[in-house]
């Protein structure tokens, strides 16, 4: 049917257009629960917070409906990148989910609705708080932090957190009870970030180690940290180097160090600007403290007056075992003051004085001061202008005082002369554990000799030699050793079996050496060792030992004692004795067993030949005698 242009549309088509433009109203179902709008503004977005406590209250109040009903499952991403591979999926998992209640029947047959609830762990709650805090602050969540919550060690070094990222981390750690180590070094958290961290540490007493180095904390950060140390006695290690602390900030730390509840074992205040006055503030505090074991105050421009105050405090201290005062320009006099204080202290074991303008005469003088010190074990003096005369004079003093307890002298940028090498070998004859860490040798012959000696030491200290000694001492075969280590009898030895077998059989091999042996013996890289790989490792080690040492270690060729006793006596007596005596003694003695025995046998043969020739000439020259050929 044709319609003229400009004529009105039929009523039927108009009603269709009207129905399309106005959607049909939905009739409500009385059995269906009302839906809540997903665009509703959350309490976190509607309110503003001024400090850490109010922020945590806001976020936890926003999570109250879902804190016990939501199971947060956040998978870790692969690799070590700081951002999550799929942040959208992670945020979707962290959002509250709607739980449909199940209908149950009671005894009367009526249906009742019971909500499905699942209690979250502390770790899951901490994750959920962190994700919600990241959503509120519009920052990307860190996969490193989420993995750290699982492991109990949070390492966020150089991740660019800033104040907001630190605030989110602090909010999560307030309710966490599994993390013990927190490293937030190099994140530029500033004064705002350190305030959130210290407020968290006032509540969380499970964290023992905190590292806030290189964060530009300045005086405000020093005040916050010192106040935290006065109220938190669970912190055992604090590293706050590179934060531009000044001489007045040293007074704040000194007050905290002298506090009765102070519990730090490790304190690192290096790479700051404490200067001479800062050292004078720390001196009396060191004398009053009895908990710090490792103290690092290097790179602080203490100079002679500052280090003198530290030395006076060290005389009365009874706890410091490692002291680092490098790069402070203390000179020869300051070094002697420290060594004298260490002699009186009798607890200091490691003293590091790198780059302190100490000359060769100063090195010899301070070693003379330590002649009666048996507690000091390591002296580190690298990057000092001691030239080649310094090591010689120092080694002469050490050689003249064998009662000295020093075992390590570190002079990494100094070279050893032939005389210094000779003194080192003489000292090592009396004290085998004595070592000198140096920069090289002035004589090539000394270099070759030292390299050969180092190879011999590495060969003798090889963990595989302990296995050989165990087999020889217990008169075992290598199959017997393999059966003892293979506890599950699957013809292979895993790392756990190897480690437990070393402890069960009292073989002195550490876990680190067990890992080295596993890596060396596991040729097919399947994580286990079979019997063939064990025998192949034995052959390689014996070949290396003979090449380096010139001899072959004695191996057990006998069978176990149980098998010896099980043999009948007739079989042992049935062997003819003529077989043993048929070989001449000269032939038995002429067979060399090693390279040194071969050379000795050749020398003895040449000597006997020359003696025979001289004897023949003597007989021929004598009148009336003749030689029967």
Superfamily of domain 179-453: Ribonuclease Inhibitor (3.80.10.10)
Name which residue leads in pLDDT, 558 or 407.
407
Q: Are strands 294-296 and 350-352 parallel, antiparallel or unpaired?
A: unpaired
User: For the ranges 52-66, 306-320, 360-374, which has the lowest average pLDDT?
Assistant: 52-66
- Find the helix packing angle between 275-288 and 303-316, rounded to 10°: 0
Task: Tell me the per-residue pLDDT of 249-292, one tens digit each, with 9 for 90 and over.
Answer: 999 999 999 987 888 999 999 999 999 999 999 999 999 999 99
Average pLDDT, whole number, for the chain? 78
Tell me how far apart the alpha carbons of residues 330 and 176 are, in angstroms, rounded to a whole number.
Answer: 45
Task: Choose the CATH number for 463-547 among 3.30.505.50, 1.10.238.10, 3.40.50.12780, 2.60.120.1440.
Answer: 1.10.238.10
Reported confidence tier of residue 194, pLDDT bands at 50, 70, 90: very high
User: For the ranges 205-219, 321-335, 433-447, 608-622, which has the lowest average pLDDT?
Assistant: 608-622
Query: What residue spans define the domains of the chain?
Result: 179-453, 463-547
Tell me how far apart the alpha carbons of residues 529 and 550 are, in angstroms, rounded to a whole number.
Answer: 29
Q: Cβ contacts of residue 279 below 8 Å, gap of 6+?
A: 250, 297, 300, 302, 303, 305, 306, 307, 309, 310
Inform me whether the pLDDT recorded for 241 exceeds 90: yes
Task: Tell me the per-residue pLDDT of 460-501, one tens digit each, with 9 for 90 and over.
Answer: 888 888 888 888 888 889 999 999 999 998 989 998 999 899
Q: Supply the pLDDT for residue 187.
A: 94
Q: Supply the pLDDT for residue 61.
A: 58
Tell me how far apart the alpha carbons of residues 127 and 135 are, in angstroms, rounded to a whole number.
Answer: 12
Inform me whether the pLDDT recorded for 385 exceeds 70: yes
Q: Supply the pLDDT for residue 44.
A: 34
Inform me whether the pLDDT recorded for 596 exceeds 50: yes
Tell me how far apart the alpha carbons of residues 131 and 169 are, in angstroms, rounded to a whole number.
Answer: 10
Inform me whether the pLDDT recorded for 570 exceeds 70: no
């Amino acid at each position: 049917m044709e319609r003229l242009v400009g004529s009105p549309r039929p009523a039927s088509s108009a009603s269709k257009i009207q129905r399309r433009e106005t959607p049909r109203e939905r009739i409500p179902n009385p059995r269906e629960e009302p839906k809540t709008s997903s665009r509703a503004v959350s309490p976190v977005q509607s309110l503003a917070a001024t400090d850490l406590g109010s922020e945590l209250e806001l976020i936890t109040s926003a999570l109250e409906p879902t804190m016990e009903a939501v199971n947060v499952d956040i998978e870790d991403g692969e690799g070590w990148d700081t951002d999550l591979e799929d942040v959208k999926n992670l945020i979707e998992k962290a959002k509250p989910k709607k739980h449909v209640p199940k209908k149950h029947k009671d005894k009367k047959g009526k249906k009742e609705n019971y909500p499905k609830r699942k209690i979250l762990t502390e770790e899951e709650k901490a994750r959920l708080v962190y994700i919600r805090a990241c959503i509120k602050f519009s920052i990307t969540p860190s996969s490193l932090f989420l993995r750290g919550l699982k492991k109990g060690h949070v390492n966020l070094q150089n991740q660019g957190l800033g104040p907001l990222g630190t605030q989110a981390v602090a909010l999560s750690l307030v309710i966490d009870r599994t993390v013990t180590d927190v490293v937030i070094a190099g994140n530029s958290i500033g004064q705002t970030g350190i305030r959130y961290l210290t407020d968290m540490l006032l509540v969380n007493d499970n964290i023992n180690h905190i590292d806030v180095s290189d964060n530009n904390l300045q005086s405000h950060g020093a005040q916050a940290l010192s106040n935290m140390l006065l109220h938190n006695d669970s912190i055992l290690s604090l590293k706050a180097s590179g934060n531009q602390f000044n001489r007045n900030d040293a007074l704040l730390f000194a007050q905290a160090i002298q506090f009765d509840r102070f519990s730090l074992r490790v304190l690192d205040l290096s790479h700051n600007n404490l200067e001479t006055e800062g050292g004078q503030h720390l001196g009396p505090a060191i004398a009053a403290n009895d908990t710090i074991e490792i103290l690092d105050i290097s790179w602080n421009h203490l100079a002679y007056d500052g280090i003198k105050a530290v030395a006076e405090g060290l005389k009365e201290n009874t706890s410091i075992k490692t002291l680092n005062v490098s790069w402070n320009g203390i000179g020869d006099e300051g070094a002697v003051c420290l060594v004298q204080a260490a002699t009186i202290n009798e607890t200091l074991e490691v003293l590091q004085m790198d780059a302190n303008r100490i000359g060769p005469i100063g090195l010899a003088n301070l070693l003379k001061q330590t002649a009666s010190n048996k507690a000091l074990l390591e002296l580190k003096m690298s990057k000092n202008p001691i030239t080649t005369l310094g090591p010689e004079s120092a080694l002469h003093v050490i050689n003249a005082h064998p009662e000295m307890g020093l075992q390590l002298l570190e002079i990494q940028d100094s070279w050893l002369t032939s005389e210094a090498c000779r003194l080192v070998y003489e000292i090592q004859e009396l004290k085998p554990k004595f070592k000198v860490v140096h920069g090289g040798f002035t004589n090539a012959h000394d270099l070759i000799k030292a390299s050969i000696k180092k190879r011999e030491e590495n060969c003798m200290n090889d963990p595989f030699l302990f296995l050989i000694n165990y087999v020889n001492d217990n008169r075992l075969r290598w199959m017997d050793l393999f059966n003892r280590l293979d506890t599950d009898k699957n013809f292979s030895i895993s790392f756990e079996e190897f480690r437990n077998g070393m402890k069960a059989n009292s073989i002195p091999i550490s876990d680190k050496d067990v890992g080295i042996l596993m890596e060396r013996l596991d040729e097919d890289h399947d994580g286990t060792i079979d019997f063939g790989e064990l025998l192949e490792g034995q052959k390689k080690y014996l070949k290396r030992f003979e090449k380096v040492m010139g001899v072959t270690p004695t191996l057990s060729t006998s069978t176990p004692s149980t098998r010896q006793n099980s043999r009948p006596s007739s079989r042992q007596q049935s062997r003819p004795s003529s077989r043993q005596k048929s070989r001449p003694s000269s032939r038995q003695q002429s067979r060399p067993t090693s390279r040194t025995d071969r050379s000795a046998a050749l020398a003895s043969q040449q000597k006997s030949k020359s003696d025979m020739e001289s004897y023949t000439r003597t007989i021929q020259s004598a009148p009336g005698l003749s030689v029967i050929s």
